[in-house]
Amino acid sequence: MDADRTGQSAPGTLLSVRGAERTFQVGGQKIPVLKGIDMELRPNQLVMLRGRSGSGKTTLLNMLGGLDVPTKGEIVFHGHAFHKLGDEERTAIRREKIGFIFQTYALMPLLSAWENVELSLRMAGAPRGEWKARVSHCLELVGLTKRADHRPYELSGGEQQRVAIAKAIAHRPAMLLADEPTAELDSQMGAQVMAVFREIIATENVTICMTTHDPTILEVADHVYEMVDGRFKAS
């Protein structure tokens, strides 16, 4: 990779965002959604983005994961300057180093929990000989060893979200991005998901950045960024 496409960030930084703006063009109109974001993610952190609906959390999360690029500003992940890379290059980095978790689990309905996690290793191109041990380890981490043969419809919402977490970490990403991962869960199941997140950070060398509306789970975060109308409120 040439020097132009690599980025420098401070030592110990996994991801850095500098002056990021995102404007969408709708019809003839320009709509500014992110208006100058600066943030940092360090290894083994749990970071939360909170803010009202429409404040720009999902737009930012998409940029952190290289699904979208800023109109202006810089995003450097793991030494890769996302703002200078094309779709294909960002996709390749994403496949290898980033995991995603969504509000609505995103599992394959006809596959068992085990097969869902295995699919993620298959897609990442992990050697077949490693699948069994890794799937088993990931399901154990999320406390679902006994549910390995169940299909999503045979699992509770919280269990399905934990399968989705096992699936997202199977290929050993450095960063996990989660958009409202507890929004569909009751408070007990939400707390279980947060406990799993803390466990994964402690044992899998991963940083998690998630959006949330739920004030009760903010206290487990290492850092909270509050977003108001496309900017971070000073904390």
Ligand X SMILES: Nc1ncnc2c1ncn2[C@@H]1O[C@H](COP(=O)(O)OP(=O)(O)OP(=O)(O)O)[C@@H](O)[C@H]1O
Site residues, ligand X (CB under 6 A) = 24, 26, 31, 33, 51, 53-59
What is the smallest separation between the CB atom of 72 and ligand X, expressed in angstroms? Answer: 16
Compute the distance between CA of residue 7 and CA of residue 30 in angstroms, rounded to an integer.
Answer: 29
CB nearer to ligand X: give 19 or 54.
54
**Which residue number, 105 or 131, has a Cβ lying nearer to ligand X?**
105
C-alpha 65 chain-centroid distance: 7
Closer Cβ to ligand X, 53 or 235, answer by number:
53
Between 3 and 26, CB nearer to ligand X: 26
Q: How far apart are CA 47 and CA 112, in angstroms?
A: 31
With respect to ligand X, which residue has the nearer C-beta, 123 or 228? 228
Segment (H or E) for 198: helix 187-204
Query: Could you tell me the sign of the dihedral formed by the alpha carbons of 125, 168, 206, 228, in that order?
Result: positive
Shortest gap between Cβ of 191 and ligand X (angstroms)?
Answer: 21
Hey, what are 40's tokens? 């940092």
DSSP H helical segments within 36-186, as ranges?
57-64, 87-97, 113-124, 128-141, 157-169
In the complex, least distance from residue 227 CB atom to ligand X, rounded to whole angstroms = 7
Residue 179 CB, nearest approach to ligand X (Å): 7
Q: How far apart are CA 141 and CA 204, in angstroms?
A: 10
Rg of the Cα atoms in the chain: 18
Query: Is residue 49 within 8 Å of residue 235, measured between CB atoms?
Result: no
Which CB sits closer to ligand X, 56 or 73?
56
